[in-house]
């Protein structure tokens, strides 16, 4: 996720802005920039691709002397990572200069409207469109607050925006919606940042802005406004975290922070790919009807958790689009001489976009003439660049080695592809599409409801702190969910665990079940409810300590052992919810065993070697 900083005061702005951006580096970025107002009034924008050190060199050469400015680290979403797409962005003649975190959903429509009004664009970003929109309203009224208010009404999406107007020295204007904006004051100086670490050196007394609010920062302090432009007052919050805790947003670990970010990134992903009329749009990815009709088989290839996304997607895509789907582990696929042709779509899923086996699998697919599609989180990564088509997940940078929010976003993107394909192939009616989209939109709210009770999973995890072996069992989509639940547990807690298709237990594995063996069941599929219940009863009869995660509405599991529930949702999407308690349980087992949750032994975030 991008980072924002801003400063107005009496000290050299460049030092404060660069220092603030450095404090946000941990969030990941691929370009950075600042805008500083010179003492005589002109605004200078300096930005560069790559590390902050590249920007620092340019800043040292230009040496702008101003004492007010804004800065940004960019994690590319719209348009590749390059100097032109880096922030700050400016309108013609630098009349309005701004930095932005978030996603403007309707930027294509706004761009078309502004083009009709004579605006031209130099970048591929949604941010430039937003800055020009503010410029347009500012030209109309000459009133900064009014311009922001109008722009706010026209924009759909999420934003934390910090704006300089060329004829308003001494002022930085900000507004936010669904993207954090934190402001701080200290004698004659005002600061802004998208995250607390960038502010801590200067002040610990901060204001957290709410959705729809606007503010102006000056040397005299901060004036806040509600969505209508009426002056309001916000409550000051004192921060007593140290810098490390602040980077983790107050959470003990990045993994927990990222688990809690899931409702927001899922909502962002939905906004990004589903337009306001309920149409799925993979902008810029060339997912045209002709393309969808050009293949008659799908191969999903990936590693680790990304492979588990593929396992879920096989069920979903086959069910909705009635097209055969194979799922392969990339390290197997690349060497098994797969049979492919131009009628086989190969989908490579990868958070990092750099996983060596997934990249090799992509190259093998291309060699055999199969069309390829990459689902990738890191913009401009090798897999993204080499695939014929790419759809980016908008999970933002993921820091913990164990993936959580990237997994959830990958799953959602695959769900949307399955729906889009089903519509194009005429395998689903419009009413069902809208029903399923409505259910997808309920995921953030339902995830929030699960996360509200995260302490319950801490209590449940205490039962497993001394176990050395665990079994996860489920059927259908729940079996696919078990694969991810089991990997999450083993990679961060070092507990040996296995995921089993429940019906397969009696073909061998059930002989391992003994008095007290922990077995975790997942039961979210009404059509398979009776079957999984019988399987759980079978292991209970042989002494297993059964704990089941059950979807609300499915009965009879509490007679077998302990249960916990997740909110009801269409069974096709249930794995998006069931994964959250499983992530929390794995997390709390790891914490309870005193392990390094974010950096488990022997593992790397990006596996770039075979």
> What are the residues binding ligand M6R (CB under 6 A)?
303-306, 350-352, 355, 358, 401-403, 487, 491, 603, 606-607
Cα–Cα nearest to 2, from 70, 66, 92:
70
SS3 category, 143 = coil
In the residue annotation, 605 being an active-site residue is answered as yes
Alpha carbons 549 and 520: distance in angstroms, whole number: 8
Contact 353, 306 (CB under 8 A): no
In degrees, rounded to 5, the angle at the alpha carbon of residue 175 between the alpha carbons of residues 142 and 99 is 85
Alpha carbons 483 and 485: distance in angstroms, whole number: 6
Smallest gap from residue 362 Cβ to ligand M6R (A):
11
Alpha carbons 38 and 42: distance in angstroms, whole number: 5
| Residue 532 main-chain phi, psi, to 5 deg | -70, -35
Choice between 310 and 521, CB closer to ligand M6R: 310
Choice between 568 and 607, CB closer to ligand M6R: 607
SS3 category, 370 = coil
Smallest gap from residue 607 Cβ to ligand M6R (A):
5
Choice between 110 and 402, CB closer to ligand M6R: 402
Choice between 165 and 479, CB closer to ligand M6R: 479
Choice between 191 and 307, CB closer to ligand M6R: 307
Selected catalytic residue, list 2, 303, 409, 482? 2
Token pair 């975290």 is found at 241
Choice between 197 and 396, CB closer to ligand M6R: 396
Smallest gap from residue 419 Cβ to ligand M6R (A):
22
For residue 575, what are the contacts with CB-CB under 8 A and spacing of at least 6? 312, 411, 477, 478, 480, 481, 484, 524
Alpha carbons 310 and 318: distance in angstroms, whole number: 12
In the residue annotation, 458 being an active-site residue is answered as no
Token output for 105:
């959903």
Beta bridge partners of 104: 157
On the CB side of 341, CA atoms within 13 Å amount to 5
Contact 262, 447 (CB under 8 A): yes
Smallest gap from residue 603 Cβ to ligand M6R (A):
6
Choice between 161 and 585, CB closer to ligand M6R: 585
Alpha carbons 395 and 268: distance in angstroms, whole number: 8
| Residue 227 main-chain phi, psi, to 5 deg | -60, -25
Contact 397, 1 (CB under 8 A): yes
Alpha carbons 546 and 540: distance in angstroms, whole number: 6
Cα–Cα nearest to 406, from 447, 351, 365, 335:
351
Smallest gap from residue 247 Cβ to ligand M6R (A):
20
Smallest gap from residue 492 Cβ to ligand M6R (A):
8
Contact 560, 533 (CB under 8 A): yes
Choice between 18 and 349, CB closer to ligand M6R: 349
Smallest gap from residue 138 Cβ to ligand M6R (A):
43
Smallest gap from residue 403 Cβ to ligand M6R (A):
4
> What dihedral angle (degrees, nearest 10) is formed by the CA atoms of 109, 111, 114, 115?
-110
Ordered DSSP codes for 538-594: HHHHTT-EEEEEEETT--SGGGTSEEEEE----GGGHHHHHHHHHHHHHHHHHHHTT
Smallest gap from residue 254 Cβ to ligand M6R (A):
12
Smallest gap from residue 387 Cβ to ligand M6R (A):
13
Beta bridge partners of 346: 299, 372
Choice between 48 and 491, CB closer to ligand M6R: 491
Alpha carbons 180 and 211: distance in angstroms, whole number: 9
Choice between 14 and 350, CB closer to ligand M6R: 350
Residue nearest to ligand M6R (CB): 304
Choice between 12 and 490, CB closer to ligand M6R: 490
In degrees, rounded to 5, the angle at the alpha carbon of residue 245 between the alpha carbons of residues 241 and 250 is 80
Smallest gap from residue 152 Cβ to ligand M6R (A):
36
Selected catalytic residue, list 366, 441, 540, 605? 605
According to DSSP, residue 607 is labeled -
On the CB side of 478, CA atoms within 13 Å amount to 26
| Residue 13 main-chain phi, psi, to 5 deg | -65, -35
Catalytic residues: 2, 605
């Amino acid at each position: 996720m991008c980072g924002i900083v801003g400063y107005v005061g009496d000290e050299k702005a460049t030092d404060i802005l660069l220092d603030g951006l450095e404090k946000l580096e941990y969030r990941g970025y691929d370009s950075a920039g600042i805008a500083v107002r010179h003492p005589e009034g002109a605004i200078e924008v300096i930005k560069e691709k790559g590390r902050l050190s590249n920007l620092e060199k340019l800043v040292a050469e230009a040496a702008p002397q101003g004492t007010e400015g804004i800065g940004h680290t960019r994690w590319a979403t719209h348009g590749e990572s390059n100097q032109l797409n880096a922030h700050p962005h400016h309108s013609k003649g630098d009349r309005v200069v701004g930095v932005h975190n978030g996603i403007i959903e309707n930027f294509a429509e706004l761009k078309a409207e502004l083009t009709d009004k004579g605006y031209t664009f130099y970048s591929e970003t949604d941010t430039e469109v937003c800055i020009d929109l503010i410029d347009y309203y500012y030209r109309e009224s000459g009133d900064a607050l009014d311009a922001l208010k109008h722009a706010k009404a026209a924009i759909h999406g999420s934003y934390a925006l910090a704006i300089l107007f060329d004829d308003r020295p001494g002022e930085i204007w900000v507004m936010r919606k669904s993207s954090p904006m934190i402001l701080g004051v200290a004698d004659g100086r005002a600061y802004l940042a998208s995250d607390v670490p960038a502010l801590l050196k200067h002040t610990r007394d901060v204001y957290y802005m709410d959705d729809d609010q606007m503010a102006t920062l000056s040397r005299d302090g901060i004036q806040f406004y509600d969505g209508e432009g009426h002056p309001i007052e916000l409550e000051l919050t004192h921060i007593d975290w140290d810098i490390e805790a602040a980077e983790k947003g107050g959470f003990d670990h990045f993994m927990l922070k990222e688990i809690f970010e899931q409702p927001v990134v899922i909502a962002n992903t939905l906004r990004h790919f589903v337009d306001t009329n309920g149409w799925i749009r993979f902008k810029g990815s060339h997912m045209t009807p002709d393309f969808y009709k050009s293949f008659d088989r799908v191969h999903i290839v990936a590693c680790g958790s990304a492979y588990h996304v593929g396992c879920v997607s096989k069920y979903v895509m086959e069910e909705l689009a009635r097209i055969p789907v194979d799922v392969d582990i990339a390290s197997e696929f690349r060497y098994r001489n797969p049979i492919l042709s131009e009628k086989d779509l190969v989908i490579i899923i990868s958070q990092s976009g750099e996983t060596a086996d997934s990249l090799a699998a992509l190259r093998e697919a291309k060699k055999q003439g199969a069309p390829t599609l990459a689902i990738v989180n890191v913009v401009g990564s090798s897999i993204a660049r080499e695939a014929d088509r790419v759809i980016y997940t908008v999970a933002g940078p993921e820091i913990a080695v164990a993936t959580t929010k990237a997994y959830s976003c990958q799953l959602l993107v695959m769900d949307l592809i399955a729906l889009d394909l089903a519509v194009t192939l005429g395998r689903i009616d419009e009413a069902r599409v809208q029903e399923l989209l409505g259910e997808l939109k309920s995921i953030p709210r339902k995830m929030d409801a699960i996360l509200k009770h995260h302490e319950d999973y801490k209590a449940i995890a205490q039962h497993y702190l001394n176990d050395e072996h665990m079994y996860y069992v489920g059927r259908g989509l729940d079996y696919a969910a078990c694969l991810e639940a089991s990997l999450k547990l083993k990679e961060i807690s070092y507990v040996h665990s296995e995921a089993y298709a429940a019906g397969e237990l009696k073909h061998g594995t059930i002989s391992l079940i003994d008095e007290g063996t922990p077995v975790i069941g997942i039961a979210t599929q009404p059509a398979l409810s009776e079957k999984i219940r019988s399987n759980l009863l079978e292991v209970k009869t042989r002494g297993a300590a059964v704990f089941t995660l059950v979807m609300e509405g499915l009965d009879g599991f509490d007679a077998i052992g302990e249960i916990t529930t997740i909110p009801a949702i269409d069974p096709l999407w249930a794995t998006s919810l069931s994964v959250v308690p499983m992530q929390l349980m794995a997390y709390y087992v790891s914490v309870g065993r005193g392990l390094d949750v974010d950096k488990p032994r022997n593992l790397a975030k990006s596996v770039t070697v075979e």
